[in-house]
Each structure stands twice: as structure tokens, then as C-alpha cells.
Amino acid sequence: MRKVRFRDPAGSVRTGERTDDGVAFGSRTYDESEVEILPPCEPSKIVCVGLNYHDHADERGKDVPDRPLLFLKPPSALSGHGDTVSLPDGKERVDHEAELAVVVGEQARNVDADEAMSYVEGFTCMDDVSNRDDQDREQNWVRGKAFDNSAPLGPVLATPDEIPDDASVELRVNGETRQSSSRAEFIWSVPELLEEITTYLTLEPGDVVSTGTPAGVAPLSDGDEVEVEVEGVGTLRHGVRSE
């Protein structure tokens, strides 16, 4: 099942199902042009994982850490399917990063990896838009990673049964493929990530864990159209503009 949060023509926020015919809610199916697709959840926090693919660590010139590298994005970083992301002003390099994102379904603390998937409501697509100018200058990456609208998320929340263990993760800019890999290439699996994260903090329902990006990150420019596609989820689309 692929759940979708949307604002209907009357302005009400609904949760329905995305089908081949459109967005189904109750006895009605809307054409997607009639509704506004919203981020599929309302997280209290977005926990991101750095360097979870060997090839991305190589292209960034980094050693693979001995435990998952974690950082946070706030709820204000969220943007949705069809939105336009504003790039921070005056920066030379702001990159795209295609990621498979996990949405937590219930409160989770000190979760064992063997039980971790029972806490997962589903999966979605995310673009971890990254301001390299500041990321490479600071330790905690607030300027580099947490700026407004730096976490396009969506378009749907796909239940775990929809996502293969080797689900492909791909990103295109203006129709050109820049990133192409697979969940099977993770250094740390989703259960291992959830175990590590919940050792230190409580994940709340709706919280997001974004699992890292493969090689191929590259700068975004004013007017770019970005597509992040995860097998089993679908395609997240967003625009880019310079402030």
C-alpha cells in the first residue's frame, strides 16, 4: 500500500491511497492535479546517516567510520513533492543526495536490530540537499544540512512489503541520471541503524531516518528539476531556485 497525505480542494488535510487512477479517499478518487501532495509524515526530527555507501565515502575522500555517522535535520527542513527548494544565498556548491527514508510507526527506544522492522511504518524518498560550503567548515553541519526546505520528502509512504531488500535508489536532474545504486549496497542495514539510533534517543511516530546516499552527488543550479526514485515507493519530484 502507498499512503499519501494531501490537501483536498476544500483545503482539508487527508490521508488516502495513491493508485494508478489518482488519490483515493473515502468513496472519491482525485486526479493528482486537483490536490496538493504533502510530505507523507510530520516528524519531530529527521535523523540522517552519513557515509552509508562505500562509493560515496570514496568520492568525498572520507574513511568509512566504525559506527554510523549521524546528524539531524529539523521539521523546518521539510518540503514536499512538487515543491521548489530555495538554495542558500551566496553558496558555491549545494548538492543533491538521493536517499531511502524510513518512517517510524511507534515510539522506539533501545530497539534490538532483530525487532527493529516492527517499528517501521514504511518507506519514502528523500533528497538530503547539502550546502557543502558550510558543511566542510563546521563540525555539527547545522548550516550545511539543516537549512529550510533541505529535506524534500515523499511522495508517498510505502508499506515495508512494497520495498525489495535490494530496492534501487536513483536520482535524475533535468532527466539525466546522476545517482544509481541499491539498498543492498548499504554499509549498515535499516535494522542496524535503528538499533544504533535508539540507543541514544527516542524515535517518535512519524520520525524519519534517512539512510545515506550513494556516489554521484553533484551541484544543483537555479531552475533544475530533480527526481528521486526508490523502487517500490515511486518518484519524488522537486524544483530548485536560487534566492
Residue-wise pLDDT for 23-53, tens only, equals 999 999 999 999 999 999 999 999 999 999 9
**Closest Cα partner for 207 from 98, 48, 53?**
48
DSSP state of 174: T
Cα-based distances in Å from 181 to 81, 100, 160: 22, 11, 19
> How does the average pLDDT of the chain come out, rounded?
97
In this prediction, residue 188 has a pLDDT band, given cuts at 50, 70 and 90, of very high
Enumerate the domain spans of the chain: 1-37, 39-242
Please tell me the predicted confidence (pLDDT) of residue 68. Answer: 97
- Answer whether residue 243 shows pLDDT above 90: no
Whether pLDDT at 189 is above 90: yes
pLDDT, tens digit (0-9, with 9 covering 90-100), for 64-80:
899 999 999 999 999 99
Question: Is the Cβ–Cβ distance between 184 and 169 less than 8 Å?
Answer: no
How far apart are the C-alpha atoms of 198 and 115, rounded to whole Å? 12
This prediction's pTM: 0.97
Give dist(CA 7, CA 19) in Å, integer: 16
Residues of the chain with pLDDT > 90: what percent?
A: 99
CA-wise closest residue to 172 among 95, 229, 239, 121: 229
Residues 150 and 74: their CA atoms lie apart, in Å, by 10
pLDDT computed for residue 127 by the predictor: 98
Q: Per-residue confidence at 130, pLDDT binned at 50, 70, 90?
A: very high
The answer for residues whose C-beta is within 8 angstroms of residue 38's C-beta and 6 or more apart is 5, 6, 7, 13, 80, 154
How far, in Å, are 23, 40, 41, 177, 198 from residue 156 at the CA level? 11, 6, 9, 22, 25
Q: How much is the pLDDT for 75?
A: 98
Q: Residue 89: its pLDDT value, please?
A: 95
**222 pLDDT more than 90:** yes
DSSP state for residue 114 in the 8-state scheme: G
Rounded CA separation 168/14 (Å): 29
CB atoms within 10 A of CB 106: 12
Query: Could you tell me the CATH superfamily of domain 39-242?
Result: Fumarylacetoacetase-like, C-terminal domain (3.90.850.10)
Place of cell 493508485: 19
